[in-house]
Amino acid sequence: MDKFTTLTATAAPLNVDNIDTDKIIPARFLKTIKRTGLGKSLFADMRYNADGSEKPDFVLNQERYRRAEILVAGDNFGCGSSREHAPWALKDFGIRCIIAPSFADIFFNNSFKNGLLPIALPEEICATLREDAAMGGNAKLTIDLARQMVIRPNGEEIPFEVDAFRKHCLLNGLDDIGLTLEHAAAITAYEAKIPSWQPKIQGA
């Protein structure tokens, strides 16, 4: 998993409440277990017409937001069914941080496990950040995870809360496998003590 330290990037304003996981990645795209290739289907029903052509009014189809890495969304982002494909699709598109007034719990947890940083801020602050984002690519936001600050284009710093353990994992690029491998030496030492007659982990 890539480390998340400081991100300065274009933010896309998506002022829509209750964007559920089926809007993020519709169920018909869940046939794969790969984490790549889902970005083209992100927000598919919002981005594309029935014939596959782009809807020009949708924010991520606008040229200045096609390479956005931050999304400033509405309340209750990621609600609906549990599907890890939702953060996979956002990450594959290039989104690395989502700012919203609130998140559904399962989506919130899945985001951290996949290297996405969800930041919950009051609606009035999100509205201000969406106004900043509406200025386009020349008005970039900065996310400083170590200092837990969102920095507006005018230099104003907005603090945010993040769980200390999740912050550690993002700063160091550690997913569940990475966390386990931090104890590789201890695991190897334990395996070496197992009697030859006792089953071992395959490949140990």
> What fold is seen in the domain 6-173?
Aconitase; domain 4 (3.20.19)
CA distance 87 to 118: 10
Q: Is 60 exceeded by the pLDDT of residue 203?
A: no
Say whether pTM exceeds 0.85. yes
Average pLDDT of the segment spanning 101-113: 96
Q: What pLDDT is stored for residue 187 in this prediction?
A: 74
Q: Is 80 exceeded by the pLDDT of residue 87?
A: yes
Average pLDDT of the segment spanning 78-90: 94
E strand or H helix at 72 = strand 70-73
Q: Is 50 exceeded by the pLDDT of residue 149?
A: yes
Q: Is 80 exceeded by the pLDDT of residue 176?
A: no
Q: Which tens digit of pLDDT belongs to each residue from 6-35?
A: 999 999 999 999 999 999 999 999 888 888
Distances from the Cα of 143 to the Cα of 84, 102, 129, 151, angstroms: 24, 18, 12, 6
Give residue limits of the domains in the chain: 6-173
Q: What pLDDT is stored for residue 197 in this prediction?
A: 72
